Amino acid sequence: MLAIHHRIRPLDPRAHVFEVCCTVDAPDPAGQRFRLPAWIPGSYLIREFSRQFVAVRAEAAGRPVAIRKEAKDRWRADPTQAPLTVIATVHAFDVSVRTAYLDATRGYFNGACVFLCPEGFEAAPCTVDILPPEGPEFAHWRVATTLPSGGAPPQGFGRYRAADYDELIDHPVELGEFMLASFAAGAVPHQVALTGRHDADLKRITRDLGRVCQWHNDLFGGRPASRAPFDRYLFLVTVLGSGHGGLEHRTSASLLCSRSELPRRGHTEVSDDYLTFLGLASHEYFHAWNVKRIKPAAFTPYDLARENYTRQLWAFEGITSYYDDLALLKSGVIDPPRYLELLGRAISTVLRTPGRRVQSVGDSSFDAWIKFYRQDENSPNAVVSYYAKGSLVALALDLTLRSGGRASLDDVMRALWNRHGRTGTGVTENGLQSIAEELAGVGLGDFFGRYVDGTDDLPLAALLDAFGIDLHLRPADGTKDRGGKPASGPLPACWLGASANGDMQLRHVFSGGPAERAGLAPQDTLVALDGLKASAAALEALLATRAPGDRVEVHAFRRDELFAVEVELETAPADTCHLTLRDEVSAQMAALRGAWLGSS
C-alpha cells in the first residue's frame, strides 16, 4: 500500500502560523480530494477546524496545480500523474486541548485540526516530518508526543509515522521547552511533560500519578498488575494562570491546569486544587480504556465529517467521572472521608441543576452536539450534564450491584473491556445494561428506565444507607459553598432564585423561582435592593436576615433601561450535600463499605 507523507513546521511563530503539507504519491487520476475533520474525538461539537486554514495551494513536479474548495472542509486538485503536494497555512492561536497553538515560546497541535486526509487513503500508512522553527532562539525546542518514531530521536524533530489517518490524528504534539518526568505503571513507561511557568514538585506528581495509573491498570487487568494496552503513555500538561480542561488520546492525554493546581516543592498537604489536577489526569487516563478502546457502536468507526449520535455518553463520560475521584481513594492518595467530601460536591452540583428534571442523561448524551457544548443563560433550566449526573448514575449502579452481592461496577467495566475493548467491537445502545443484568442476575430495566432514560432523582440516600453512610442536605451558606462539608456559617432562610456575577449581572434565572416570577431575566444588572446599593455581600446579608414570604424591591437595568420589580422571597432550597460515615454499623454494612471504600 502506498504511503501518505505529511510535513508540519512552525512557519512564523510570531504570526502564529504553521505550514502543513500532504503529499500523495499516486493521486486519484480524476482529481485528488482532500478533507479535514469537522470535530475531534472526545469533544462532541462540530468545531469547523477548516476555518483556521488561511490559504491552500497545490503543486506537482515543481509546478502549480489548481486546487478548488468544494465544501467548507473539502478541496479537490486538478488531475495529475505526478506525486501531488498540498500546502496549507494554518492560523494557530487557541489555548485549548482540542486545536492548535503557536507563538515564540511554544507550539502545540492536534492532528485533526491541521492534517488533511486524502480521500481514498484513510487506511494508508503515514509518515510525518515535524520540523523546528527557523532561528537560533528556537535551538532548545524539543518535541513531546507518542507518535511512533520513523527515525526521529527521542523528544527530537524529524520523521514520525502512523499506521493510518486515525492514528495520525490521535497523538497530540507539544513543541518547545518543557520539563519532562517519568514513572512506571501497568508495566510500561509513563511521562509527564509540563509546559509553562511553574514551581511544581515533579517528584510528588509522578509518585501520585504512578499510584493512580497503576490502580486503573489493576482494575481492568485484575491482580497481579497487568500490562497496559499501550507501550508507553504521555501526559502533556500546559500550565496557565487559570484554566482547566483535558482531552483523551489512545496513548496520551492533553491537560490544561491552573498553576495553583500543582503542588509546590516543600508542601505536603493534599489541597483541593491539587485534587482537581489529579482528578483530571485520572479522568483522561481512564479514557484510555473507556471510550478510546471500549467505544459506542456509533463510534466504530468515527465519521469525523458529521455528528455521531449515541445515548451512551453518560456511560463513557459519567462512569469515567465516577472513577476519576474513586481512583484517588483506591490508590491511597486520599482517605474515605476526603472522598466522600468530593462525592458530596458532585451530588450538590447536580441538585443545583433544575435541568435534571427536564432532560435525561440519555437525551443529554444524544444532544451533546447542540446543547452541552453550547450552553447559554437557560442551560441550567433545560440541560443536565452527562458528566455530572452520569457520575451519580454510575455511583447508584455500583451501589445497587454491590448491595445485590453478586457483582460491582468494576466487574461490569472488566466485562466491557474483555468483550468490547480487546475485540474492538462497539457497545450497542443497551449493551452496558445487558452486561450489568447478566452479572447481577436480575433485571435492571426499572433502574435504567428511571435514571438513564428518565428524569427521576437517584435514590442515593437509601443506597448509601446500606453502606452505613448518611446523606445530609441543607441550603448553601454562600456563593462559594461547593458542598461536601457541613455549613461553615449561618444558613440563609431565603432564596432569590438567580445567580449573579461580581458586577451583579444575573447569569442564570432559575425556572419557577422568585426572580423569574417577578420578571427578572438573565443579563439584568441589579443596582439596588430595598433602596440600598446592590452587591454580592448585600444580597447574602439580605437573604440571611429575611424570611420566606418577605418582599424585596429590586431596581435593575435591562440593557440601558432602568426598571423596578418586587420579588417575594422563598425558602432556600436544600440542594447542598455532605456525607458522613456512621460510627456504629452492622457487620453487613461494614463489609459492603469495606469492599467499596476500603478501611475507614
Q: What 3 state SS string does 332-363 have?
A: CCCCHHHHHHHHHHHHHHHHCCHHHHCCCHHH
**pLDDT at residue 209 above 80?**
yes
Identify whether residues 116 and 58 lie together within a single domain: yes
Residue 477 lies in a domain: no
Identify whether residues 248 and 325 lie together within a single domain: no
Return the CATH number at 403.
Answer: 1.10.390.10
Over residues 451-456, mean pLDDT: 98
The residue among 268, 288, 308 that closes a domain is 288
**What is the residue-averaged pLDDT of the chain?**
96
Q: Which residues lie across from 65 on neighbouring strands?
A: 58
Identify whether residues 201 and 118 lie together within a single domain: no
Residue 482 lies in a domain: no
**pLDDT at residue 376 above 60?**
yes
Through-space distance between the first and last CA atoms of the chain, rounded to whole angstroms: 59
What stretches of 115-154 adopt beta strand conformation (E)? 117-118, 126-130, 142-144
pLDDT in tens, 88-110: 999 999 999 999 999 999 999 99
Residue 483 lies in a domain: no
Contact call for residues 548 and 571 (beta carbons, < 8 A): yes
Residue 488 lies in a domain: no
Over residues 301-307, mean pLDDT: 96
Query: What is the pLDDT, as a whole number, of residue 224?
Result: 44
489 vs 576: which has the higher pLDDT:
576
pLDDT in tens, 549-580: 999 999 999 999 999 999 999 999 999 999 99
Identify whether residues 12 and 137 lie together within a single domain: yes
Identify whether residues 113 and 77 lie together within a single domain: yes
φ/ψ bin of 396: left (φ > 0), alpha (ψ from -120 to 50), beta (otherwise): alpha
CB atoms within 10 A of CB 518: 18
Neighbouring C-alpha atoms within 13 Å toward the C-beta of 60: 17
Query: What is the pLDDT, as a whole number, of residue 479?
Result: 86
The residue among 177, 208, 238 that closes a domain is 177
Q: CA-CA-CA-CA torsion for 139, 141, 147, 148, nearest 10 degrees?
A: 40
Query: What is the pLDDT, as a whole number, of residue 208?
Result: 98
Nearest alpha-carbon partner for 257 in 322, 343, 192:
192
Q: What SS3 class is residue 269?
A: coil
Cα(333)–Cα(215) distance, rounded to whole angstroms?
11
**pLDDT at residue 512 above 90?**
yes
Identify whether residues 197 and 276 lie together within a single domain: yes
Residue 500 lies in a domain: yes
Identify whether residues 341 and 368 lie together within a single domain: yes
**pLDDT at residue 9 above 90?**
yes
C-alpha 371: how far from its chain's center?
A: 15
The residue among 288, 317, 352 that closes a domain is 288
pLDDT in tens, 100-143: 999 999 999 999 999 999 999 999 999 999 999 999 999 999 99
Split at pLDDT 50, 70, 90, the class of 348 is: very high
Q: Which residues lie across from 257 on neighbouring strands?
A: 239
Query: What is the pLDDT, as a whole number, of residue 267?
Result: 87
Q: What percent of the chain has pLDDT over 70?
A: 98
Nearest alpha-carbon partner for 115 in 156, 70, 171, 159:
171
Identify whether residues 156 and 278 lie together within a single domain: no
Residue 165 lies in a domain: yes
Identify whether residues 232 and 322 lie together within a single domain: no
Locate all alpha helices (DSSP H) within 100-224, ordered by sequence.
Answer: 165-168, 202-221
Return the CATH number at 51.
Answer: 2.60.40.3650
Split at pLDDT 50, 70, 90, the class of 490 is: confident
Distances (CA, A) of 363 to 382, 385, 387, 404, 445: 11, 10, 13, 28, 17
Over residues 60-65, mean pLDDT: 96
Cα(24)–Cα(31) distance, rounded to whole angstroms?
12
Nearest alpha-carbon partner for 218 in 170, 254, 185, 266:
185
Residue 232 lies in a domain: yes
Mode of pairing for the β-strands spanning 33-35 and 74-77: antiparallel
**pLDDT at residue 428 above 50?**
yes
Cα(14)–Cα(93) distance, rounded to whole angstroms?
10
Over residues 432-451, mean pLDDT: 98
Out of 4-18, 215-229, 286-300, 454-468, least confident range: 215-229
Identify whether residues 275 and 148 lie together within a single domain: no
Q: What SS3 class is residue 373?
A: coil
Q: How many domains does the chain have?
A: 4
Query: What is the pLDDT, as a whole number, of residue 599?
Result: 64
Split at pLDDT 50, 70, 90, the class of 323 is: very high
Distances (CA, A) of 354 to 380, 505, 522: 6, 20, 15
Contact call for residues 241 and 198 (beta carbons, < 8 A): no
Residue 441 lies in a domain: yes
**pLDDT at residue 480 above 80?**
yes
**Four-residue CA torsion sign, 255, 259, 262, 264:** positive
Structural domain harbouring 189: 178-288
Query: What is the pLDDT, as a whole number, of residue 3?
Result: 83
Query: What is the pLDDT, as a whole number, of residue 116?
Result: 98
Cα(437)–Cα(447) distance, rounded to whole angstroms?
11
pLDDT in tens, 182-199: 999 988 999 999 999 999
**pLDDT at residue 227 above 50?**
yes
**pLDDT at residue 33 above 50?**
yes
Query: What is the pLDDT, as a whole number, of residue 222?
Result: 56
**pLDDT at residue 61 above 80?**
yes
For residue 264, give the DSSP letter.
Answer: B
Identify whether residues 191 and 173 lie together within a single domain: no
Over residues 337-353, mean pLDDT: 98
Identify whether residues 419 and 533 lie together within a single domain: no
pLDDT in tens, 228-274: 899 999 999 999 999 999 999 999 999 999 999 999 988 889 999 99
Return the CATH number at 533.
Answer: 2.30.42.10
